[in-house]
Amino acid sequence: MSRDIHHKSHLDTSPPQYNGPLYPLDKDAFRKSIPILAVRVPASQTATVLNSDLTRRYLVGIPKVRPVVRNPSDPDGDRLVLLNITSQAEIPPEPLEFLKSKTNGFTDYVLNLDYDYWTASEILQVILPEDLREGAPVGFATTGHVAHMNLNDEYLPYKKTIGQVFLDKNKLIKTIVNKLDNIDTQFRVFDMEVLAGEPNFVVEHHESDCRFTFDFSKVYWNSRLHTEHDRIVSLLKPGEVLADVFAGVGPFAIPAAKNKTCAVLANDLNPESAKYLSKNVQDNDVSDLVRVSCQDGRAFIRDAFQQIYDMPFPPYTGPKISKTLARKLQKQAKKASESVPVASNSDSPPSRRTIDHFVMNLPDTAILFLDAFKDVITSQEVKDAYEGKMPLVHCHCFTRELEQISAEVDIKKRVEEKLGHTPEEYSIVHVRSVAPNKEMYCVSFRLLPEILFA
Ligand SMILES: C[S@@+](CC[C@H](N)C(=O)[O-])C[C@H]1O[C@@H](n2cnc3c(N)ncnc32)[C@H](O)[C@@H]1O
């Protein structure tokens, strides 16, 4: 006997045709009632029907619809097991017999679906004009509570409706924006317009176990750089010193301090970035490890060597510990020092007065800032401090070269033109494809005394 293993449900659960206004949407117009058949089953027996191979294929099986419900006209009585058919005639004799013997009979039931039932994409499929349905937007990127979309021109007449539908369907999202094409060229901030929700752009975003607060409309942030942020931080040894020339709101600086106990000079010319960077330093409890400045990158590089030499960070004494543990250890140390003579600190680690790494993530122009390293160290004591420990530079850049080999040739040429030398320990890593013909790379190299020392 051949069995109908996959009973095809004839239930049409697609959203109804929509002829109402596009904005605001008439959500009531999305109500849909689907008559189906159900069986009455004592609560203790529902598993028998749900788990039987004979009847499983007739269960309602619709996403987000529970197959067992209370009977609206007899809430304390038999449960209703919902089926995906409308009449008993659709069930072959064997399962029909089974259902008759194991249940208290069939009953009609009405499945009520409404606007909340369908996904954003399903709703858009009935409200957008037919020629726009196929390529309709299906999602967005999020930063904190803000969802950002990048609508193509043909969807702009429907932007408010599209925004509202995505807002309705994503409870964690409070604001939907559309990124406009123009980007502020100096601070890399996108222009955006609110499509739906509250016009609040101050987001709280989490990355690499750190909390970042920032105004998404006033500073640069790109969640797609998460892997690159992690990669650079993974290159740092615990306790090393990092100078972040274009720090933004801190996605390199804060994890470096928090997760690697690195000391960080973090700089950004955008006062809004510097403001939120300072807040993030505090919120992540790394005020002792990160110094924030708001300078032009070139001036920052020129000042950094002497500044950290004159005002070194305290020595690295091991991984950062929680405040509670620190207090406990302090108490223990105090007790111990009362009974034990104070040890000489001649072996204690040195203060941190040299920079181990520079990171320069301003891919459009960072290479142009490299000449700031030329002859930057003038005093003999600072030169001595860098003897045998030249800093590494991690400089982000764009290239139009699509092949890695030609990209490397192009990047090295530009770097060497600016430095006036061929640095050591080159490594060039592809970060991401930004656009057709635009690849982002990170070039790392070690500076040389010939470059730094006047
Ligand atoms: C591409 S963003 C990178 C931010 C951050 N490092 C990140 O990975 O998200 C570049 C940053 O450089 C800052 N900036 C632009 N021009 C600058 C300059 N001349 N000096 C210092 N910072 C600058 C911008 O405000 C922006 O925050």
Nearest alpha carbon to residue 230 among 256, 211, 197 = 256
pLDDT above 70 (res 11): yes
Residue 296 annotated as binding site: yes
Looking at 3.40.50, 1.10.10, 3.40.630, 3.30.70, the CATH number of the domain 32-113 comes to: 3.30.70
Q: What does the pLDDT read at residue 335?
A: 73
**Quick one: DSSP state of residue 270?**
S
Q: What does the pLDDT read at residue 1?
A: 37
Q: Residue 113 — pLDDT band, cuts 50, 70, 90? A: very high
Q: Which residue has its alpha carbon closest to ligand 1 atom 17? A: 269
The number of beta carbons lying within 10 Å of the beta carbon of residue 155 is 18
- 144 touches ligand 1 (CB under 6 Å): no
Give the DSSP H/E element, type plus range, for residue 228. Answer: helix 226-235
Nearest alpha carbon to residue 220 among 193, 184, 257 = 184
- 232 touches ligand 1 (CB under 6 Å): no
- 269 touches ligand 1 (CB under 6 Å): yes
Residues 415-442: what's their mean pLDDT?
96
Counting from 1 in the atom list of ligand 1, the atom nearest the Cα of 268 is 22
Query: Across-strand partners of 38?
Result: 82, 107
Distance 422 CA to ligand 1 centre (A): 26
In tens, the pLDDT along 162-183 reads 999 999 999 999 999 998 876 6
Distance 225 CA to ligand 1 centre (A): 13
Q: What does the pLDDT read at residue 347?
A: 67
Long-range contacts of 428-436 (CB under 8 A, 24+ apart): 428/404, 429/231, 430/404, 431/225, 431/228, 431/396, 432/224, 432/225, 432/228, 434/398
Nearest alpha carbon to residue 352 among 412, 287, 265, 284 = 265
Low-confidence winner among 64-78, 313-327, 433-447 (lowest mean pLDDT): 313-327
Residues 134-149: what's their mean pLDDT?
94
Residue 361 annotated as binding site: yes
Tell me the domain boundaries of the chain: 32-113, 120-200, 218-334+347-452
In tens, the pLDDT along 190-211 reads 889 999 999 999 999 999 999 9
**Into which CATH architecture does domain 120-200 fall?**
2-Layer Sandwich (3.30)
| One-letter identity of residue 168 | D
pLDDT above 70 (res 360): yes
Establish whether the linkage from the previous residue to 363 is cis, with ω within 30° of 0.
no
Q: Which residue has its alpha carbon closest to ligand 1 atom 19? A: 296
- 408 touches ligand 1 (CB under 6 Å): no
The Cα 120–Cα 115 span in angstroms is 10
Q: What does the pLDDT read at residue 333?
A: 67
Residues 30-34: what's their mean pLDDT?
97
Q: What does the pLDDT read at residue 208?
A: 97
In tens, the pLDDT along 273-303 reads 999 999 999 999 999 999 999 999 999 999 9
**Pocket mutation for ligand 1, best pick of 246, 369, 434 (most atoms within 8 Å of C-beta):** 246
Question: Two tokens at 262?
Answer: 């690195």
Counting from 1 in the atom list of ligand 1, the atom nearest the Cα of 369 is 19
pLDDT above 50 (res 325): yes
Residue 325 annotated as binding site: no
Q: What does the pLDDT read at residue 341?
A: 43
The Cα 366–Cα 411 span in angstroms is 12
Residues 92-111: what's their mean pLDDT?
95
**Pocket mutation for ligand 1, best pick of 220, 225, 267 (most atoms within 8 Å of C-beta):** 220
Q: What are phi and psi of 362, to 5 degrees?
A: -140, 75
Considering the chain, what percentage of its residues have pLDDT values greater than 90? 85
Q: Which residue has its alpha carbon closest to ligand 1 atom 27? A: 248
Residue 229 annotated as binding site: yes
**Pocket mutation for ligand 1, best pick of 203, 269, 292 (most atoms within 8 Å of C-beta):** 269
| One-letter identity of residue 295 | Q
Superfamily name and number for 218-334+347-452: Vaccinia Virus protein VP39 (3.40.50.150)
Q: What is the mean pLDDT of the chain?
A: 93
Query: Across-strand partners of 142?
Result: 147
- 424 touches ligand 1 (CB under 6 Å): no
pLDDT above 60 (res 344): no
Nearest alpha carbon to residue 355 among 286, 417, 446 = 446
Give the DSSP H/E element, type plus range, for residue 179. Answer: strand 175-184
In tens, the pLDDT along 361-385 reads 999 999 999 999 999 999 999 999 9
Distance 63 CA to ligand 1 centre (A): 46
Is-same-fold flag (32-113; 120-200)?
A: no
Burial 268-279 (b: 16+ CB within 10 A, else e): bbbebbbbbbbb
pLDDT above 50 (res 105): yes
Q: Residue 338 — pLDDT band, cuts 50, 70, 90? A: low
In tens, the pLDDT along 221-236 reads 999 999 999 999 999 9
The Cα 383–Cα 230 span in angstroms is 31
